[in-house]
Each structure stands twice: as structure tokens, then as C-alpha cells.
């Protein structure tokens, strides 16, 4: 079994490959060839939480486990990949970058389906590590000419804009308000830890596509109920998982609203045909995405001789 570090995972999983992997993963979910198990959480009185999410894709299955504690700013991620035929362990990966890249890639795939083909502008609320992946992924599927970013901390958003402009060769500007970041933009991404909505429905113009990926907590949301009501199409990565943890929908809807034909899973989404439509991709993150991305990293590591054996024994 191989052990792969964060640096190795990041090097072996380029965003363009990750977007392709997410396209394959959701196609496999559509046919039933892949499986996903919704995230489960074990909460401690101290505020520490253990999270686990599993899936199966292709020749592999596996699970990501991670621990968090908001009080201490703790976040620790590991992913365990196994051979689906033999159940033998294949690899253990440090998985912070794995999650960041595949989350961005899922938004990239959703954007390629749901955003207008002529979309060239991106507005971002948030300037953390997930926001960076949103820039990289969306720019992989649309020729972005302008990106605006807002977050609460001015220094953070200015640093984010400068780093993204340097690293991706894009026109990225920090702006002083959330409204300026998203108003009249073709694509909008929200990537925050906010408990309450970070934008207003009337800031979003017809024809806009929105990637909302910051909240996977039933008591937190980034999008207001008015925008959920206004949207023409809402795609989520998993309806089953959304009913457990998607505060953006849970806090906006009654039980009957889950039956709306406006809500679909990303695996069933087709390309946009209605230019003025407002579309939303509500991303929670799926275990099967980690399996697809982790398996690619593992096979690349074997090919290139990267990684360190953890023990000798039965391996795939």
C-alpha cells in the first residue's frame, strides 16, 4: 500500500484531468456503475467532529475521513483507497488537496453544462482555499476575461486576486462589496463559511449560473431563499445527501418543495438551452468524487514511481 503526501497529490492531479474525471464519475452515477454513500458525522461535546464519506468507482472503492474543530481551526484529511475486486488496500492519501481539487472540478463540470457557452466573467464571494479551485476549474471550461472577488477581509481578497492573476494568467480584481463581485457577472461562485446568505437575489441577472459550494451544514446557507425560488434549474450532486446537509435548500424549502421538477441531480443534467435562465449547482461534495480522483492519483503514482510503501502484504 502506498502513502502519498499532499504535495504529491497536488502534483499528480491537474485540474483539467480532475474535470474530466468528474464528467466520467457523474456519467457512471447516471448508469449505476458507480456508488455514493452520503457523508456521516460523529460530533463530540468538545466541538470536534469526525466526518466520513465513501464511494465506489471503476476498479476501486474507498472512504475519506477527516476531523474538524472550529474552535481550534483544526482540519485533518485522509483518504483510503481499496481494490473493489479483492478488498486489498491500495493507498492512503493525505486528502486536503484531493478534496479541494475535486470540489473545484465538480463545479467546473457543472459550469460546462449549465453556464452559457458565451460566459466570460466570474464573480466570487470568498477568498479561501476552495475559492481558488473555483477560479481554476471555471477557467478550464470557459475563456474568462474578467474575475471579481470579494471577501470580508480586504487584505485576504487583495492577496487572493494577486495570486490568482499571477498563477493562472487571468484578470482578477478585488472589489469592496459582494454586490460588486456578482452583479452582472455570467458565472458566480460562493465559497464561504457563512451562516447567512452572502448575496441577494436581485443582484443576480437573468442568464447567470451559480456554483454554491461553501455550505454542507443544514443550519448554514450562502444563498437566500428568494434566489432558490427564482432559479429556473437547480442541480445538486446528490438529492439524498442534500436532504441531510444542504442548508441552502433545507432552510428555503418545505418538504413538498423537494418534488419540484426544477431540482435535478448533476448526473441527470443536460446542457443549457435557455439563455436567460438562472441556474444553480449546489455542491455538497461526494465520496465517489474522492474515489475517482484518488484512484487517478494512485495509478499515476504507480506509473511514475511516486509515494512510499506503508507495509508489505496483499496488495492490488
The domain spans of the chain are 2-99+287-309, 105-282
Q: Which of 163, 157, 279, 269 is nearest to 223 (CA)?
A: 279
Q: How far is CA 35 from CA 30, 71, 93, in A?
A: 10, 34, 20
User: Which tens digit of pLDDT belongs to each residue from 224-246?
Assistant: 999 999 999 999 999 999 999 99
DSSP string, 193-214: --SS-SS-GGGSPTT-EEEE-S
User: Which tens digit of pLDDT belongs to each residue from 46-60?
Assistant: 999 999 999 999 999
Cα-based torsion angle of the residue sequence 219, 223, 224, 225 in order, rounded to the nearest 10 degrees: -80
CATH 3.40.50.720: does it fit domain 105-282? Answer: yes
User: Which tens digit of pLDDT belongs to each residue from 114-130?
Assistant: 999 999 999 999 999 89
Domain 2-99+287-309, second-level architecture: 2-Layer Sandwich (3.30)
User: Which tens digit of pLDDT belongs to each residue from 242-255?
Assistant: 999 999 999 999 99
Residue 316, pLDDT score: 42
* Angle at alpha carbon of residue 64, lines to 241 and 78, rounded to 5°: 150
Q: How far is CA 258 from CA 229, 236, 265, 286, 287, in A?
A: 12, 12, 12, 20, 23
Amino acid at each position: 500500500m502506498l502513502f502519498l503526501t499532499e504535495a504529491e497529490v497536488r502534483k499528480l492531479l491537474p485540474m483539467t484531468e480532475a474535470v474530466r474525471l468528474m464528467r466520467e464519475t457523474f456519467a457512471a452515477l447516471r448508469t449505476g456503475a458507480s456508488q455514493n454513500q452520503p457523508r456521516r458525522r460523529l460530533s463530540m461535546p468538545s466541538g470536534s467532529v469526525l466526518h466520513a464519506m465513501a464511494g465506489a468507482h471503476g476498479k476501486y472503492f474507498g472512504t475519506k475521513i477527516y476531523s474538524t474543530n472550529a474552535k481550534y481551526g483544526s482540519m485533518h484529511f485522509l483518504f483510503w483507497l481499496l481494490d473493489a475486486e479483492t478488498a486489498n488496500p491500495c493507498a492512503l492519501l493525505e486528502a486536503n488537496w484531493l478534496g479541494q481539487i475535486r470540489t473545484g472540478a465538480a463545479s467546473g463540470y457543472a459550469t460546462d453544462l449549465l453556464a452559457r457557452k458565451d460566459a466570460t466573467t466570474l464573480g466570487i464571494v470568498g477568498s479561501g482555499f476552495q475559492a481558488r479551485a473555483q477560479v481554476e476549474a471555471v477557467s478550464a471550461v470557459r475563456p474568462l476575461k474578467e474575475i471579481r472577488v470579494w471577501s470580508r477581509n480586504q487584505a485576504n481578497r487583495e492577496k487572493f486576486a494577486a495570486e490568482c492573476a499571477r498563477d493562472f494568467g487571468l484578470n482578477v480584481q478585488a472589489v469592496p462589496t459582494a454586490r460588486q463581485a456578482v452583479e452582472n457577472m455570467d458565472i458566480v461562485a460562493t465559497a464561504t463559511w457563512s451562516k447567512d446568505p452572502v448575496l441577494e437575489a436581485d443582484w443576480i441577472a437573468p442568464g447567470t449560473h451559480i456554483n454554491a459550494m461553501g455550505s454542507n451544514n443544514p443550519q448554514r446557507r450562502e444563498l437566500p431563499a428568494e434566489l432558490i425560488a427564482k432559479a429556473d434549474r437547480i442541480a445538486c450532486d446528490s438529492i439524498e445527501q442534500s436532504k441531510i446537509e444542504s442548508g441552502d435548500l433545507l432552510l428555503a424549502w418545505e418538504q413538498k418543495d423537494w418534488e419540484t421538477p426544477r431540482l435535478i441531480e448533476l448526473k441527470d443534467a443536460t446542457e443549457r438551452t435557455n439563455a436567460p435562465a438562472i441556474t444553480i449547482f449546489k455542491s455538497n461534495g461526494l465520496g465517489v468524487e474522492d474515489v475517482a480522483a484518488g484512484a487517478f492519483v494512485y495509478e499515476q503514482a504507480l506509473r511514475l514511481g511516486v509515494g512510499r510503501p506503508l507495509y508489505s502484504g496483499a496488495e492490488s
